[in-house]
Structure 1
Amino acid sequence: MNNVLRVHLLGVMLCLLMAGSALAGDRVELLVPEQVGVGKPFLLRIVSWYPLENVQVEWNEKTVRPTVTRPGEKSEALLMLGIGLRKDLGTYPLKVTVDIWGHTYHFSRNIKVVESVWGKETLRVAPKMVDPPAEVLDRIKAERAQILAALNQVTPERFWDLPFVLPTKGKMLSRFGLYRVFNGHTKSRHTGLDFRAWKGTPLHSIAAGRVVLTDHFYYAGNAVLIDHGNGLFSMYDHLSRILVGKGDVVQPGQRVGLSGATGRVTGAHLHLAVFVLGGVVDPEVLFESSVDNIFK
């Protein structure tokens, strides 16, 4: 190959690479907030006029391959992310990889995690629910491991869609993240959102998904854990009766149980917990009427 031809081919290759880079930068949008509160979920949208394939997202040391859809003329990958209640403040990298027509493109964003505002509440419960007797400690440890094992699974399909459905019409009571004082001692943070629900009130799934766990737990009582896909889970605690079984596919608003007062409670209610990639996050913003705009 002569030098003139070699230079020409190198020039063509360089132009193709530059065109590919421009195509990715101009035609792939990452819609994601620059700043989020600790313990809060947020939405990531990856949008392109071009067909997206093999989309991969890395966030907080976890990897997700979100479902790609084409709701209109554009390809879109929608993903719920978040930062767990107990994570450190600071700047976290978000990395996205996509394939377009056989070429791989990489994108990154830095998201600042800032403090959220939390309240405090005082409760009185049975002493054994604050300082469990020695004979139940192994049980509590095993139950935590059982739940964590389920939460660490990242299902490749996304079952959920916007908007989310309220699990019950009852008033929202104890908010997520509260510092909780049990029997005069600060013992924990509130890792869910409580709803008023008199015993026997029907409770509904907040989104489509698959039931991955139903059991009776020391603290949560009768509970249902639903996998909504791509690392998003919801858990319904303190039920008087469970109406679904492991492996059941549920639809938004479908009954999953009846409210009760099982586990560590002061009375009948629903404790709803939401998890993103293993981290517990605030469910309340999922039910805002303008949720789609809040998460952009």
Structure 2
Amino acid sequence: MILPRTFAFLFLCVFTFLSFILPASAAEFSVPGRVSQGHAFPASVQDIRPFTAQFRWRGESIRVKAVKYPSKRRWKADILLALPLDAKADEVLSISLHDEQHDFVVKPLGVRWPESVLKVAPRYVAPPPEALPQIERDRRRIRRALDSRTMKRWSLPMARPVPGGITSAFGGRRVFNGQPRAPHKGTDMRCAEGTPVKAAWAGTVLLAEPTYFGGNTVHLDHGQGVISSYAHLSAFDVKAGDSVRKGQVVGRSGATGRVTGPHLHFGLHVQGVPVDAMPLLTSPPALTGGPSRTLYERQPSASRSSR
């Protein structure tokens, strides 16, 4: 018969032995090694026990509580991150959980951004003095919206806001009336005036109001700093504070603001960084290549690989 004291000693020996041979964490990480400029990318970590992960990326730190996946008996924390369209140096993503930090290097790949030459009303190139207060107000309110950090509501793939193709891709430098301006921070999509515009993901309406350059614009918060925008609308179907479903109509396309004709300007910011939203229409998303092709370009053959 084993005495209680002997049993306790044997149990302690076995526990001590297992603590040496078993890993402190069975975490599995998913982080891409290469991402093109101006692209968003998902990163995640899984473990066999509950945890909260800390993602540190480009000076920002975001805590993500893991969600249980019953079918896999694992817990997973995921996040959407982004590389700026002018990124050149390698970036490091640090993921911390269970008091351990794991670092991953993400290498940016260059993209040859195009140039768009456009003709618009002169007041949208050289705004009159009376328009300056509204422009400054728009800037502050949009900046505040992009600073929102809430619980995750996005999921891949993203829903297409309108069925039309791309007329002006993300990232191209704009030249308005002969004057160079900042790169295009969204995707222009063909659609007739009054076309229903649908939410890319479930979210909360941060702004639904007229702006000087964007015309009638809706901004949706999808959590973790993922913000989508829908500009140049002819009408709103939502108001600030509304909760919307993925695919729900948020407005109707139009030609308000700085435009050359009716279309939807669809934008996506990830922690304040504008990105090309089109690669997120598939799951897994396209992390390399670009810019997204327009209706006016010859489509590549099936055998041609992306840059």
Preserved contact between residue 57 and residue 96 of structure 1 (Cα < 8 Å): yes
Residue 261 (structure 2) pairs with residue 262 (structure 1): no
Hey, what does 1:36 align to over in structure 2?
35
Conserved 8 A contact 1:125-1:266: yes
Query: Which of 184, 193, 212 lines up with 2:187 in the alignment?
Result: 193
Q: Deviations over 1:79-112 (max 9, x none)?
A: 1110233x5410111111113xxxx221111212
Q: Which residue, out of 284, 297, 301, partners 1:292?
A: 284
Name the SS of the counterpart of 1:144 in structure 2.
helix
Provide structure 1 residue ranges, at least 5 long, that are not aligned to the other structure.
Answer: 1-8
One-letter amino acid matched to 1:235: S
Per-residue displacement from partner, 1:178-233 (whole Å, max 9, x unpaired)? 11111122222111011111111000001111111111110011010000011111
Greater Cα shift, 132-141 or 251-260: 132-141
Whether the 8 Å CA contact 1:123–1:181 is kept in 2: the answer is yes
2:268 corresponds to: 274
State whether residues 32 and 295 of structure 1, in contact with CA within 8 Å, keep that contact through their aligned partners in structure 2. no
State the identity %.
Answer: 34
Judge conservation of contact 1:65–1:230 (CA < 8 Å) in 2.
no
For 2:90, what is the secondary structure of its paired residue? strand
Aligned partner of residue 141 in structure 2, secondary structure? helix
Q: Report if the CA contact (8 A) 1:204-1:256 is conserved.
A: yes
Structure 2 distance, partners of 1:118, 1:174, is 12
1:233 matched to 2:232 = no
Q: Is the 8 A contact 1:44 1:295 kept in 2?
A: no
The SS at the match of 1:158 is: coil
Distance in 1 separating the partners of 2:121 and 2:17: 71
Indicate whether 1:79 and 2:93 are aligned: no
Would you say the 8 A contact 1:67–1:158 is kept in 2?
A: no
- C-alpha RMSD over aligned residues: 2.1
Cα distance in structure 2, aligned partners of 1:168 and 1:19:
55
Which structure's residues are more often helix, by fraction? 1
1:193-232 correspondence to structure 2 within 5 Å:
193-232=187-226
Count of aligned positions: 273
Is 2:143 the counterpart of 1:148? yes
Match of residue 51, structure 2, among 50, 53, 78? 53
- Normalising by structure 2, we get a TM-score of 0.83
Residues in 1 aligned to 2:61 and 2:17: alpha-carbon distance in whole angstroms: 31
- Larger gyration radius, structure 1 or structure 2: 2
Deviations 1:101-141 (A, max 9, x none): xxx22111121223222111211000111111222223212
The answer to whether residue 105 in structure 2 is matched with residue 113 in structure 1 is no
